[in-house]
Amino acid sequence: MFIKNIIINFKRYSFLLIELVKREFKVKYKRSVLGILWSILNPLLMMLVMNVVFSHVFKFRIEGMNFLVYLLTGLVIFNFFNEASSTAMASIVNNFSLMNKIYIPKYIFPLSKCVFVFINFLLTLIPLYLIILFTGTEGTKAIITWAHLALPYVFICVFLFTLGVGLILSTISVFLRDMFYIYTVLMTILTYVTPMFWHISMIEESSMQVAAIFKLNPLYQFITFARTIILEARLPDLNSFLICGAWGVFMLIIGGIIFRSKQDKFIYYV
């Protein structure tokens, strides 16, 4: 019955969700000459900067892999999680005036933020694939195979996971505004404990136990899943499919439960 109500409610307010996402695009690219093209150009420019910094300045290398593709595969997924969860966190607080005037399902606001950032994330895949096609040397060249058809699966898992985290953060931030500052610190820590510019083997060489702890990071699982397909041109094993799916569904359920249990009290604190 509860699931049925969610589906009916979602259909009823799907138009509002679309309008909120459209508003996000209009606000972000207002008075911009290139407009939505910045969703492609910005990550492409960032990728070039990252290439110079890590490949040429710090001279990071991973044997047998195109390091630029390795780095950027992790970066686009991590950046999606970072931006989507951060904007979702502020969505309830920032839309209080609208909620105070008419009835709107409150989950629509964090959901619209995540959908907007997810669309931008999909656009960043264009420059990523350009780099996959036109960079790399013999022996490190990433190739596009049929295994890439499994990438939408992990992208959906990341989206569900991020939405769940966004629902939790948007709930906490209503009652504790310090969460905005705390989360900035947490994301800084997460940047370094997630293997974006380094490889997990660096940890495994010193301690398998510590490496096992690092692997508990859901972002590690999502990024490794994508890298297996993009860099190794093969499908991840069944265990990876199950872990990524479990993290996505689990976090969405937990986020939904927490958000639903507290949403009626938002009006007293926002």
**Could you give the C-alpha distances from 191 to 65, 73, 99, 164, in angstroms and in order?**
21, 14, 34, 19
Tokens of 187: 């994301």
pLDDT tens per residue, range 220-244: 999 999 999 998 889 999 999 999 9
CA–centroid distance for 105 within its chain: 23
pLDDT category at 1 given cuts 50, 70, 90 is very low
Structural domain spans, the chain? 2-268
pLDDT category at 77 given cuts 50, 70, 90 is very high
pLDDT category at 127 given cuts 50, 70, 90 is confident
Q: Which residue has the higher pLDDT, 260 or 47?
A: 260
In this predicted structure, the answer to whether residue 155 has a pLDDT above a threshold of 80 is: yes
Q: Which residue has the higher pLDDT, 132 or 77?
A: 77
Tokens of 106: 């409150």
Average pLDDT over residues 249-257: 94
Render 39-108 in DSSP notation, one character per residue: HHHHHHHHHHHHIIIIIIIS----TTS-HHHHHHHHHHHHHHHHHHHHHHHTHHHHTHHHHTTS---TTH
In this predicted structure, the answer to whether residue 251 has a pLDDT above a threshold of 80 is: yes
Tokens of 252: 């969405």
pLDDT tens per residue, range 12-70: 778 888 888 888 777 776 666 565 666 666 666 776 776 666 666 656 666 667 888 88
In this predicted structure, the answer to whether residue 174 has a pLDDT above a threshold of 50 is: yes
Q: Give the contacts of 252 (CB within 8 A, at least 6 positions apart).
A: 160, 161, 163, 164, 167
What's the pLDDT at 2? Answer: 45
The amino acid sitting at 117 is V
Global pTM value = 0.89
